[in-house]
Structure 1
């Protein structure tokens, strides 16, 4: 039952309102006796009852946490999977196991996304650490089952604009769920420019659904790349260091035939570069900045 002081009209009324805006609605529960606050009940032992309730409310997304329990998540989580399969409403099942038992290795048989890391914090070191942890499981992601390095911190104030652009770019090219983690009631124009970048979101939502990987590293400089539909390649150049340095993507690293002439679309400047590139593309990057491109062979 929904808490009346928080949801006086009930969750069903809230879901109907959200759906009237053309949006989906999610809910939070836990694969334990209580949620992680220790105050609200979890779903352990009541999975089918809760799944039926969520469906009756019109829920589209279930984030399922991992606190206050006495058994392994590989035992508890499939119980909710079966409960959700018994209802007539499709509900996206997000496993928030925190990466403790490497859910990328078994999550596809249980849910639609799985946390590959523990909780993120709103700072540069936390963000890039979770990016690294998530990237290690890239080969296990696919359409219908996604690696989740935790929510976006964009807009919470702990990083610079450039660092938030790196953050959003890595999550997008990694096909991670783009879950807004700031207070949406107080979005600034700068935050909206980042999380509302349609060209970057389109990379995240590309139907091919292949998570990008690091294909080049030298010191603090990285090249991330992954294929897109229509023979295109998404490329992200990142400078994690403390001084300005050129970062280069080579065709043989990113999966483009060596002799190809390539057109580059800069996704943050929203422009197609006049220059055509052969063999490689280089950008000069300041500390904690990135460049994100879609590369398309034209000859």
Structure 2
């Protein structure tokens, strides 16, 4: 009986809270039903079909080294340069490893007097531009890092809200890779206040035109409503959470930059709310500050370019889910990087250095679904560790995403842990092989200065410079391996290659050695591979370089081991 009373009480409290929220949301000019569509948060609801694909940098998965796995926050300019020299001295650069990616903790906790990021004043005293030149002098490329948040993961200044100036800074330093993390991210609000009207004027002049609610054409749930506590007694409502749009046509005599003054009804909120002013297809973002209701109305100004003649101006807030927010924020930086690298090349008269853009969103909002609309590579999971369970779990998840990759757009299962931790030689070899089969970036995370100073250094170097595996990873088709079969505890992976060959990997996932026999004629059954015939195929073992001709592969695979073959089908 007591349990029933408690249950009824909780339900009653829930109903009261829901109704209070529902009517308060409606009173704020927001659509309550639309606000309920925020689940699941990983689903992108924005129509991205009209967004242009960002070109970005490398068309094949990048190869290089990153400071994070081995060094964490213990970096300085001498250490980074020593790693770059080691990349050359060990032959890694000749094998294709070109990017020297400086992860978190390279920068000062202070922006400079111009609001620009700067290298740590003690550990990078020469500045990042100078370090970039030294790295370039070795025939290598510099990569940098911040976060899509208010701070980086190590609580240093980040780029959310500073995308344009930071992109210009990175381009001016000659960066050719940029990793954008997800720590301290702040989701864009799906809420939008009631818009009373927008006044438009030239800078330094009085308002010459008003975009009032009665002039708008509405779509979706958006509409004009009566608002007693606004001077004009009317406003545009229901723009929130993708509910609808208000569109205006405006003719101006001459194009150029105009002041848009947005007059709005204050919305009770502890966080900034949001709206997009889309002018002739270009998105201009405005953030309304959290408000104190001493007065009911307020104004916000922004500068927007208009064309001579007719302009189409749309007010909207397409943010429904966290995925929508992430898409907007990551695309904002991607566009800034592309514009900055192009503008810097024009300014200096030098050849443009496209910046390969890495979306390190941890796979939280399924960035592979955004594909080339945002960046060149996207993390599929949270961080990797030098533990077999971590490597295996990331492989199991990422191998399923094969269909989302293409030239210039790749799945990123995170940096290589080859040579780190207590991985066995077989596990190191398997780790590298699986990443190559998945067309993943090959970014080393070990201490390159120590690569030949310990007992397994040469073995590790031999693994990561295996030219045959690197050729598989760098194949221009950029079609990752698909898991096409499973033989007991052995995964069968295959990927098509640009010259018509097929790469085949047999991966023993168990803790026991396995004998495996595989009929390669089965490969013809999978349309993804595109094989028409296999008669008298040549098979090359890419770890032993043995070559043979057979219809069946018979082999023994050690625990957590792989066998990788290149099959010539003609």
User: Helix, strand or coil: the match of 2:121?
Assistant: coil
- Aligned partners of 2:521, 2:368: CA distance in 1, in Å? 28
**CA offset at residue 219 of structure 1?**
3.0
Q: Secondary structure at the match of 2:361?
A: coil
Structure 1: gaps of 5 or more residues: none
Kindly tell me: are residues 17 and 211 of structure 1, through their superposed partners in 2, closer, same or farther at Cα, counting changes over 3 Å?
A: same
Cα distance between partner residues in 2 of 1:145 and 1:2:
30
The equivalent of 1:158 in structure 2 is: 422
User: How far 1:225 moved relative to its partner?
Assistant: 0.5
1:145 matched to 2:409: yes
Maintained 8 Å contact 2:132/2:142? yes
Match of 1:184 among 445, 448, 454: 448
Q: How does 1:24-103 map to 2 (within 5 A)?
A: 24-38=141-155, 40-71=156-187, 72-87=325-340, 88=342, 89-103=353-367
Q: Provide Cα deviations, 1:103-139, integer angstroms capped at 9, x if missing partner.
A: 1111321000000111111111111110111111110
- Equivalent residue in structure 2 for 1:236, among 481, 496, 505: 505
Residue segments in structure 2 that go unaligned for 5+ positions in a row: 1-117, 188-324, 343-352, 452-456, 525-530
CA distance in 1 between partners of 2:151 and 2:122 (Å) = 19
- 1:225 aligned to 2:494? yes
- Matched with 1:17 is 134
More displaced 10-residue stretch of structure 1: 72-81 or 247-256: 247-256
Aligned residues: 294
* Higher RCO, Cα 8 Å, sep 6+: 2
SS of 1:86's partner is helix
Contact 2:371–2:404 (8 Å) recurs in 1 = no
2:508–2:514 Cα contact (<8 Å) kept: yes
TM-score under structure 2 normalisation?
0.50
Residue 251 in structure 1 maps to residue 502 in structure 2: no
Query: Matched residues in 2 for 1:297 and 1:68: separation?
Result: 50
Shift of 1:226: 0.3
Distance 1:219 1:37 in 2: 44
C-alpha deviation, 1:253, in angstroms: 3.6
In the TM superposition, residue 259 of structure 1 has moved relative to its aligned partner by: 5.1
Cα deviation 1:47-71 (Å, max 9, x = unaligned): 0000000000000000100010211
Alignment partners' CA distance in 1, 2:371 and 2:180: 13
Partner of 1:119: 383
Change (3 A) 1:6 1:250: farther
Partner SS state of residue 48, structure 1: helix
The superposition leaves residues 39-92 of structure 1 with CA deviations (integer Å, 9 ceiling, x where unpaired) of x11001100000000000000000100010211322211110121121214100
C-alpha displacement of 1:181 = 1.2
Quick one: which of 536, 542, 552 aligns to 1:261? 536
SS in 1 for 2:443: coil
Task: Report the counterpart of residue 284 of structure 1 in structure 2.
Answer: 556
SS at match of 2:432: helix
Match of 2:437 in 1: 173
Query: Is the Cα contact below 8 Å between 2:508 and 2:562 reproduced in 1?
Result: yes
Name the CA distance, whole Å, in 1 between partners of 2:519 and 2:381: 30
1:267, 1:29 → 2: CA distance? 38
Compare 140-149 and 256-265 and name the one that shifted more: 256-265
> How far apart are residue 257 of structure 1 and its match?
4.5
Shift of 1:222: 1.0
Deviation at 1:179, TM superposition (A): 0.7
CA distance in 1, matches of 2:406, 2:381: 18
Give the conservation status (yes or no) of the 8 Å contact 2:502–2:569. Answer: no
Give the corresponding residue for 2:261: none
| C-alpha distance in structure 2 between counterparts of 1:116 and 1:281, whole Å | 32
> By how many angstroms is 1:26 displaced?
0.4
Change (3 A) 1:249 1:25: farther
Larger radius of gyration: 2
Q: Check conservation: 1:264, 1:293, Cα contact below 8 A.
A: yes
SS in 2 for 1:33: coil
1:250 shift after superposition: 3.1
Deviation at 1:252, TM superposition (A): 4.1
User: Is the 2:400–2:483 contact (alpha carbons within 8 Å) kept by the matching residues of 1?
Assistant: no
